[in-house]
């Protein structure tokens, strides 16, 4: 990784890979727990791309609310608008629930909602990374 923009693009590529996986799974009829997991991972990696492009420390956490707060505390970026009020707590839970909660079997609607939120995060961060590059 030569620079912060390259580092951020690599995080964003991983985020987009997870987003693609979640979309393919939901379009294929599941499994919806895996959809939710990949949606959470997409949002997490996208937020870490934002931290990377700002050359901020990237914590080892799955907590999207904490990552969102760290990102929003960075110098203001007009293109980040829309992420300020975005509720990420439902997605945060999917980092662990989807893998370890044997009773977690979401319905299609919940999986689709998770993908929609992750897509919104990825799109916003892609604009930030693109503007910084």
pLDDT at position 80, please?
64
pLDDT at position 1, please?
46
Helices (H), the chain: 4-27, 32-53, 64-72, 89-100, 108-132
Parts of the chain with a pLDDT under 50: 1
pLDDT at position 18, please?
98
Q: How far, in Å, are 18, 29, 30, 36, 97 from residue 25 at the CA level?
A: 11, 6, 5, 10, 17
Record the tokens describing residue 80, joined without a space.
């980040």
pLDDT tens-digit profile of 105-129?
A: 999 999 999 999 999 999 999 988 8
pLDDT at position 109, please?
98
pLDDT at position 58, please?
96
pLDDT at position 130, please?
84
Nearest Cα to Cα of residue 91 among 125, 119, 117, 61:
117
Q: Are 79 and 124 in contact (CB under 8 A)?
A: yes
How far apart are the C-alpha atoms of 65 and 69, rounded to whole Å? 6
Predicted model pTM: 0.93
CATH fold, domain 4-132, is 1.20.120
């Amino acid at each position: 990784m030569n620079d912060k923009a390259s580092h951020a693009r690599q995080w964003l590529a991983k985020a987009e890979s997870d987003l693609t996986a979640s979309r393919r799974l939901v379009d294929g009829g599941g499994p919806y727990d895996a959809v939710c997991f990949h949606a959470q991972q997409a949002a997490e990696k996208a937020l870490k791309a934002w931290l990377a492009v700002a050359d901020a420390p990237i914590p080892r956490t799955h907590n999207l609310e904490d990552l969102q707060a760290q990102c929003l505390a960075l110098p203001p970026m007009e293109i980040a608008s829309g992420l300020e009020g975005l509720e990420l707590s439902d997605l945060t839970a999917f980092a662990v629930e989807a893998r370890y909660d044997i009773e977690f079997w979401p319905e299609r609607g919940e999986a689709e909602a998770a993908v929609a939120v992750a897509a919104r995060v990825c799109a916003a961060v892609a604009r930030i990374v693109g503007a910084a590059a």
